[in-house]
Amino acid sequence: MLPKKTASKEEKRVDSAQEKTSGSFDAREMIMDHIMDSYEWHLFTYKDYHCSIPLPVILYSKDKGLHIFFSSKLHHGESSYKGFKISTEEKYHGKIVEELPDGSIVKPLDLSITKVTVAFLFTMLFMVWLFVSIANAYKRHKDEPPHGMQNLLEPLILFIRDEVARPSIGEKYERYMPYLLTLFFFIFFNNIFGLIPIPPGGANVMGNVAIPTVMALFTFALVILSSTKYFWIDIFNTPGVPWWLKFPIPLLPLIEFLSLFIKHIVLVIRLFANIIAGHIVALGFFALIFIFGEMSLLGGYGISFVSVPFTVFLTLLEILVAFIQAYVFTLLSALYVGLAMEEPHH
C-alpha cells in the first residue's frame, strides 16, 4: 500500500509540474516577470531549462549576519540556501526571506545586486565612458566645431542649458547644470536601454518605483538646500490671501506645506507610471500572440501580423516617451529649484 501511495504522489507532482510548464499561458505572470526586479537576469526558458545570468545576493540577517552568494544557489526560487529562499507567498512576493528555526518568516536586510541594479550600473558606466570621452574631445579640439558624438549630444546639452535650466532657475543656473544634465541623461539612457530587449538592456529601471524615488529625493534635497527665506514665507504666510484661510485653522499653510511633498511624489509617479505603462502595453501585445497561439496555431501567427507592427509602433512611441519623460522630470526639477530660490516680491 505504501509504495502505491508514494507512486500516486509522484504522479500528482508530475501532473502539477506538467500543468506548470505546458498549462495555459498566464499573460499577467509573464508581464509581471518582465517588469519586476529579479535576483537573476533571465534570458530564456527552453522546455524545463531556465537560462539566466546569476547575480550576487547580499543579505544581512540579525541571526546569521552577512551573507553574500550568487542567486544560482537558489535555483530560480525552487530551493532554499542556508535558510534563505525566494518567497512565493502574497507577503514579500518574489523577495528573499529567511526561515527562522521556529518556522516564522522574516525579511532580512536585502542589498542584493539585482537585475535593475545591474541595468542602471551599466547605464552609469556607459554615461561615464560617453561623457568623459566627449569632455576629452572638447579639451582636445578647443574652439572647433563638434565632431562625431559631440554633434549628437551637444544639442541636448544646450537644450537642457538654454531651454530648461536658464528659464526655470534664472541667473544662478550654472550651479545646477551638472545635476540637471546627469538627471536628464540618466533617465533618457535608462529608458532607451529599457527598450532594447537584449541584456544589459531590457530592464525596467525607471519603471521601478525605487529609482525615480531616489532622484526625486535628490531634487527635494536641492530644493530645501537652495530655498530662500521668502520661499518659506510664501508657504506659511502666503501674501495676498484672506486672513481667515490662515487663522485660526491654518488651511492654506497646510495645503502649501503638503504640496511641497506631493509635488515630488507626483514627480516619481509620473515617470514610474509612464515607463511601466509603456512596458506593460508592449508586452501585452506580445502576450496576445501566445494567447491566440494557444487557441490555434494559425491564430497565433495571424495575430502576430497585428501585434508586431503595433509593438514596433509602441517602441517608437516609447522612444519619444523616453525623451519626454526625461525632459519633464528635469524641467520640473529645475522649476522647483527655481521656485525655491524665490526673491522678495516687489
Partner 1 sequence: MELVTPDVGLLFWMLVSFTLLLIILKKFAWKPILNSLREREESISEALSTAEKARAEMEKLKTDNEAIIREARIEKEKILKEAREIKNQIVDKAKQEATQEAHKIIEVARLNIRQEKAMALDEIKKQVAELSVDIAEKILREKLSADSEQKKMIEKYLEDIRLN
Instruction: Name the amino acid, one letter, at 246.
Output: K
From candidates 74, 97, 134, 331, binder to partner 1 by CB under 8 A: 134
By CB under 8 A, tell whether 87 contacts partner 1.
Answer: no
Distance of CA 228 to the CA centre of its chain: 32
Between 252 and 337, CB nearer to partner 1? 337
C-alpha cell at 266: 507626483
Between 62 and 93, CB nearer to partner 1? 93
Total of residues contacting partner 1 (CB under 8 A)? 51
- H or E stretch at 186: helix 177-195
By CB under 8 A, tell whether 127 contacts partner 1.
Answer: yes
Between 110 and 318, CB nearer to partner 1? 110
Residues 6+ apart with CB under 8 A from 109: 59, 60, 61
What is the DSSP code (8-state) at residue 197? -
By CB under 8 A, tell whether 214 contacts partner 1.
Answer: yes
Between 211 and 267, CB nearer to partner 1? 211
Neighbours of 344 (CB within 10 A): 8
From candidates 5, 28, 47, 142, binder to partner 1 by CB under 8 A: 142
From candidates 27, 156, 177, 339, binder to partner 1 by CB under 8 A: 177
Between 179 and 292, CB nearer to partner 1? 179
Residues 6+ apart with CB under 8 A from 82: 64, 67, 69
CA distances from 153 to 110, 134, 144, 185, 342 (A): 37, 9, 15, 10, 32
Q: How far is the CB of 129 from partner 1 (least distance, A)?
A: 10
Between 207 and 303, CB nearer to partner 1? 207
Rg, the chain, Cα only: 26
By CB under 8 A, tell whether 116 contacts partner 1.
Answer: yes
Between 48 and 143, CB nearer to partner 1? 143
From candidates 209, 241, 266, 308, binder to partner 1 by CB under 8 A: 209
By CB under 8 A, tell whether 189 contacts partner 1.
Answer: no
Closest CA to 236 of 250, 253, 248: 253
Give the CB-side neighbour count of residue 45, counting CA atoms within 13 A.
10
Interface of this chain with partner 1, residues 278 to 337, rule: CB under 8 A = none
Could you write out the DSSP letters of every residue in 30-85? HHHHHHS--SEEEEEEETTEEEEEE-EEEEEETTTEEEEEEGGGGTTTTS-BTTEE
Q: Is the peptide bond before 197 cis (omega within 30 degrees of 0)?
A: no
Q: How far is the CB of 211 from partner 1 (least distance, A)?
A: 6
By CB under 8 A, tell whether 224 contacts partner 1.
Answer: no
Binding site for partner 1 (CB under 8 A): 35-37, 58, 93-95, 109-114, 116-117, 120-121, 124, 127-128, 131-132, 134-136, 138-139, 142-143, 154, 157-158, 161, 174, 177-179, 181-182, 186, 208-211, 213-215, 217-218, 272, 276
